């Protein structure tokens, strides 16, 4: 009875099976064999395995070796349809110990290789997520969404109209106006809300690292590279949203590579020759006039028009006064909870906040409130607590609100280093990004990047003491 169903039983196996006699004549092949090799069952059954080699269907057979040695054998076989398969042949012995049949199991090496590459890619992607230095790349952020003013009501109405599409969005506005908040709102309001949101700060990544950070690299691409390779931030954003903050700071050569991504929706890792398809929704943001940058030769015109699909202009804080006190209250509540302090603003402080011009916009307001909460020694923040905040038209003190470091028992070098740190911190609070700070201080961006990192290390060392 079993013999009546042997072919159907063989057809249930995922691997291809070929049974031949000691002379190489094919007696049985299952359905998977034809799917894998592209050779019909009828063609196999009317030939010997050696004849199929001569006809060019494949390059290797194990039947003669197994018959001669009476031992199992294995080999790689190239099939005429381009597949690479693994052969594993087993002898079936008769009563005299001679080989009567040869059973060959054929596995798809091509599929196994693809599976291994997919597993490797997933591992690299996981490592990329784990190594993201900025946790806000993957989270929703802490910033409140305040829409009290009419201009912000209009802005969020426009954002709602484009959120559920996959259209590329270009966010324009001064430094610190909340482009990050709007970008996250668009992501979480759209069809990709449950997928990754990856933020790339184009202005803070050193130029010598930005290519590998964005595009990733394959193993052995350069000295010091991971032996497993690494997925870039564009790949990490696959199926989700890629937020390119400060897109105007992207070096020209990277603009060319980004343009190819937007045209072909493929990413090529450094050192690779094989492009990988990506499915991302791109949101870009800048505080620059990109059209002027195009005319100056600093920004590619074709990339500009690729980005200029849905454009949202975010108004500065001084032009949406109705949002100032609600934003300040939100930051006060957030940092009050974080630092376990119950504080409030005096009426005079609220009037001063409304009268101030806010050149650093929402980011400046947040940093101010955070500092006030940290330094406040009583339950109410008074006017004398606001150093450096003056109504429009009044000048700031010469020191700009900075206090000189103590000089007792310190070397001149140590004093200047401390003062430099204070200036850098004040500048970051005011301008919000390394690129803007470098532009205002008229120094190279890499210099600011290095000094900010030195400050971060110094703070960490003090915290560890």
Total domains in the fold of the chain: 4
Query: Tens digits of per-residue pLDDT, 106-159?
Result: 988 766 666 565 555 555 555 555 555 444 444 444 555 677 888 999 999 999
Q: Are 252 and 361 part of one and the same domain?
A: no
Q: Kindly give, in sequence order, each residue whose CB lies less than 8 Å from that of residue 224, ignoring residues fewer than 6 positions away.
A: none
Q: Are 382 and 438 part of one and the same domain?
A: no
H-helix segments, 279-346: 290-295, 301-307, 324-338
Which domain-ending residue is among 290, 315, 340? 315
pLDDT value at residue 14 = 83
Higher pLDDT, 1 or 345: 345
8 Å CB contact between 177 and 316: yes
Q: How far apart are CA 87 and CA 91, in angstroms?
A: 13
Query: Tens digits of per-residue pLDDT, 252-279?
Result: 999 999 999 999 999 998 888 889 999 9
Which domain-ending residue is among 252, 284, 315? 315
Q: What six digits make up the tokens of 74?
A: 């294995």
In a domain, residue 401? The reply is no
Inform me whether the pLDDT recorded for 296 exceeds 70: yes
8 Å CB contact between 214 and 236: no
Inform me whether the pLDDT recorded for 453 exceeds 90: no
**How does residue 394 score in pLDDT terms, banded at 50, 70 and 90?**
very low
8 Å CB contact between 67 and 22: yes
Please name the residue that has the structure tokens 């989700």. Answer: 240
8 Å CB contact between 66 and 102: yes
Nearest to 77 by CA among 65, 64, 61, 91: 61
pLDDT value at residue 444 = 77
Q: What six digits make up the tokens of 194?
A: 């449950």
CATH number at residue 439: 1.10.10
pLDDT value at residue 400 = 46
CATH number at residue 37: 3.30.450.20
Please name the residue that has the structure tokens 């290797």. Answer: 60
Which is it for the CA torsion 192, 193, 194, 198, positive or negative?
A: positive
In a domain, residue 441? The reply is yes
Q: Are 167 and 253 part of one and the same domain?
A: yes
Q: What six digits make up the tokens of 189?
A: 């309001």
pLDDT value at residue 139 = 43
| pTM greater than 0.75 (yes/no) | no
pLDDT value at residue 169 = 96
CATH number at residue 196: 3.40.50.300
Q: Are 189 and 203 part of one and the same domain?
A: yes
Q: What six digits make up the tokens of 326?
A: 């609600």
Q: What are phi and psi of 70, to 5 degrees?
A: 55, 30
pLDDT value at residue 129 = 53
Query: Tens digits of per-residue pLDDT, 328-369?
Result: 999 999 999 989 999 999 999 999 999 888 988 998 999 899
Q: Kindly give, in sequence order, each residue whose CB lies less than 8 Å from that of residue 286, ignoring residues fewer than 6 positions away.
A: 170, 171, 172, 246, 247, 248
**Pairing relation of β-strands 197-201 and 16-21?**
unpaired
Query: Tens digits of per-residue pLDDT, 433-448?
Result: 777 777 778 777 778 8
Length of the chain: 465
H-helix segments, 132-243: 150-163, 179-189, 210-215, 233-236
Inform me whether the pLDDT recorded for 105 exceeds 90: yes
8 Å CB contact between 247 and 285: yes
Q: Are 196 and 299 part of one and the same domain?
A: yes
Range of the domain at 330: 319-393
DSSP class of residue 40 equals -
pLDDT value at residue 346 = 92
Query: Tens digits of per-residue pLDDT, 154-200?
Result: 999 999 999 989 999 999 999 989 999 999 999 999 999 999 899 98
Q: How far apart are CA 261 and CA 280, in angstroms?
A: 10
Which is it for the CA torsion 140, 246, 211, 449, positive or negative?
A: negative
Q: Kindly give, in sequence order, each residue whose CB lies less than 8 Å from that of residue 7, ignoring residues fewer than 6 positions away.
A: 28, 30
Q: Are 232 and 278 part of one and the same domain?
A: yes
Q: What six digits make up the tokens of 152?
A: 């912000």
**How does residue 223 score in pLDDT terms, banded at 50, 70 and 90?**
low
């Amino acid at each position: 009875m079993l013999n009546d169903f042997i072919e159907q039983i063989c057809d249930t196996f995922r691997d291809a099976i070929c049974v031949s006699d000691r002379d190489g004549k094919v007696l049985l092949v299952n359905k998977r064999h034809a799917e894998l090799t592209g050779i019909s069952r009828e063609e196999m059954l009317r030939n010997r395995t050696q004849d199929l080699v001569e006809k060019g269907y494949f390059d290797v057979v194990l039947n003669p070796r197994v018959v001669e040695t009476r031992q199992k054998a294995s080999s790689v076989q190239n099939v005429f349809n381009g597949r690479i398969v693994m052969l594993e042949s087993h002898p079936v012995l008769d009563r005299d110990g001679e080989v009567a049949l040869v059973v060959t199991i054929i596995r798809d090496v091509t599929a196994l290789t693809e599976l291994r590459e997919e597993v490797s890619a997933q591992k690299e992607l996981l490592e990329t997520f784990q190594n993201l230095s900025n946790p806000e790349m993957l989270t929703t952020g802490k910033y409140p969404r305040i829409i009290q003013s009419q201009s912000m009501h209009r802005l969020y109405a426009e954002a709602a109209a484009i959120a559920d599409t996959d259209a590329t969005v270009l966010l324009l506005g001064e430094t610190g106006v909340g482009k990050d908040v709007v970008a996250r709102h668009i992501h979480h309001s759209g069809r990709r809300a449950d997928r990754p949101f990856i933020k790339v700060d184009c202005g803070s990544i050193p130029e010598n690292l930005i290519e590998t950070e964005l595009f990733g690299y394959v193993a052995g691409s350069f000295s010091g590279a991971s032996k497993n390779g690494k997925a870039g931030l564009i790949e990490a954003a696959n199926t989700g949203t890629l937020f390119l903050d400060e897109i105007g700071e992207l070096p020209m050569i990277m603009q060319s590579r980004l343009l190819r991504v937007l045209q072909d929706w493929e990413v090529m890792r450094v050192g690779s020759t094989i492009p990988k398809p990506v499915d991302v929704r791109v949101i870009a943001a800048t505080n620059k006039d990109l059209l002027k940058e195009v005319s100056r030769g600093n920004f590619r015109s074709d990339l500009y028009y690729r980005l200029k699909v849905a454009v949202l202009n975010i108004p500065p804080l001084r032009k949406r006064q109705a949002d100032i006190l609600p934003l300040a209250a939100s930051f006060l509540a957030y940092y009050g909870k974080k630092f376990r302090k119950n504080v409030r603003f005096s009426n005079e402080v609220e009037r001063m906040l409304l009268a101030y011009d806010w050149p650093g916009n929402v980011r400046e307001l947040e940093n101010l409130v955070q500092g006030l909460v940290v330094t406040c020694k009583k339950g109410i923040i008074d006017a004398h607590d606001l150093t450096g905040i003056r109504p429009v038209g009044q000048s700031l003190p010469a020191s700009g609100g900075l206090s000189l470091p103590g000089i007792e028992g310190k070397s001149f070098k140590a004093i200047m280093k401390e003062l430099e740190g204070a200036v850098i911190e004040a500048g970051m609070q005011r301008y919000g990004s390394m690129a803007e700070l470098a532009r205002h201080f008229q120094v190279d961006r890499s210099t600011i990047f290095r000094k900010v990192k030195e400050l971060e290390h110094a703070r960490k060392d003090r915290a560890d003491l």
